């Protein structure tokens, strides 16, 4: 088992760190929230006073942070994690950030003799707690071999993918979440149309799941309240994947499409819809609450 550091113990990072402890790893944690740290310490983790101190002597560090500026800020510079990790260590950034920042940090890590991979995740809070996350990894094949031994403590082996070189994980995450947003809106529209014409949303959901309209939103994340008891929609659209985060991810997808010269009309429409929903005060609610914008019309 490895000596690991974990930085960022939010809704996703906290349960991910807990699963690493349960997998038998020695874990040192740091977060600006003392209550989040205390919860992990009670589960068997060691506490560090700073992010850099958490990395002292670590075989690997896992970071789960809000945005690219936070990732660059914590890894780079004289006091950054790359300066604190021992040579030959492994750095895994599970944050969802822009491709350019991922590549920038990867190059700085390579210069410092450290293997770095961007390893964004998919599956949401429930998968983080269950240890069934999907990981999309960007970096060298050698780093991926090392990373998989650690990531398997937080996700299913068959869902841990080597997407390609540095930045490839972030590309895969951006395009995946763009499709997620699009099919959540489409699923919501379909259910609203069916109910408006007298269909039971639960029955219609089963019809579509058995037909060509089947998708992830129908299978595990139904947006219609009461159809799926375990989905956020059945708990006033919480907890889950916040609208704020979907807007962020769709923005990353939009930037990626623009820089690649690819037209993504549906991605842009999804971004507009979620931005409008966010501006109406729904940023902290689960993204499946986009259904409510159809019912208000």
The residues annotated with a catalytic role in the active site are: 173
Vertex 134 angle, CA 59 and 205, to 5°? 160
- In whole angstroms, give the CA distance from residue 196 to residue 194: 5
DSSP H stretches of helix in 112-151: 124-130, 141-151
Vertex 6 angle, CA 106 and 244, to 5°? 80
Contact 147, 92 (CB under 8 A): yes
Q: Three-class SS of residue 214?
A: coil
Token duo for residue 103: 């590549």
DSSP 281: I
Collect all residues with Cβ–Cβ distance below 8 Å to 211 and sequence separation of at least 6.
none
- In whole angstroms, give the CA distance from residue 245 to residue 29: 24
DSSP 120: -
| Torsion angle of C-alpha atoms 34, 102, 95, 92, degrees rounded to 10 | -80
């Amino acid at each position: 088992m490895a000596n690991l550091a974990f930085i960022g113990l939010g809704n996703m990072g906290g349960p991910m760190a807990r699963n690493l402890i349960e997998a038998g790893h020695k874990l040192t944690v740091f977060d600006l929230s003392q209550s989040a740290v205390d919860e992990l310490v009670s589960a068997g983790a060691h506490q560090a006073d700073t992010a850099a101190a958490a990395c002292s002597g670590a075989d690997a560090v896992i970071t789960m942070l809000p945005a690219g500026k936070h990732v660059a800020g914590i890894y780079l510079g004289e006091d950054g994690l790359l300066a604190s990790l021992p040579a030959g260590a492994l750095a895994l950034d599970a944050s969802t950030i822009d491709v350019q920042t991922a590549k920038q940090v990867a190059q700085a890590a390579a210069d410092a003799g450290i293997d770095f991979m961007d390893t964004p995740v998919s599956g949401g809070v429930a998968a983080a707690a269950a240890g069934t996350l999907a990981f999309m990894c960007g970096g060298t094949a050698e780093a991926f071999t090392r990373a998989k031994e650690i990531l398997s403590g937080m996700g299913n082996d068959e869902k841990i993918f080597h997407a390609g070189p540095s930045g490839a994980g972030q590309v895969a995450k951006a395009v995946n979440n763009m499709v997620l947003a699009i099919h959540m809106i489409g699923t919501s529209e379909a259910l609203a149309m069916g109910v408006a014409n007298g269909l039971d949303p639960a029955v219609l959901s089963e019809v579509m799941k058995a037909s060509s309209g089947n998708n992830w939103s129908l299978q595990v994340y139904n947006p219609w309240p009461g159809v799926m008891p375990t989905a956020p929609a059945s708990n006033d659209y919480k907890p889950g994947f916040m609208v704020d985060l979907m807007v962020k991810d769709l923005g990353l997808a939009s930037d990626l499409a623009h820089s690649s010269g690819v037209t993504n009309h549906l991605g842009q429409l999804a971004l507009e819809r979620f931005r409008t929903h966010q501006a109406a005060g729904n940023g902290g609610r689960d993204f499946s609450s986009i259904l409510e914008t159809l019912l208000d019309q």
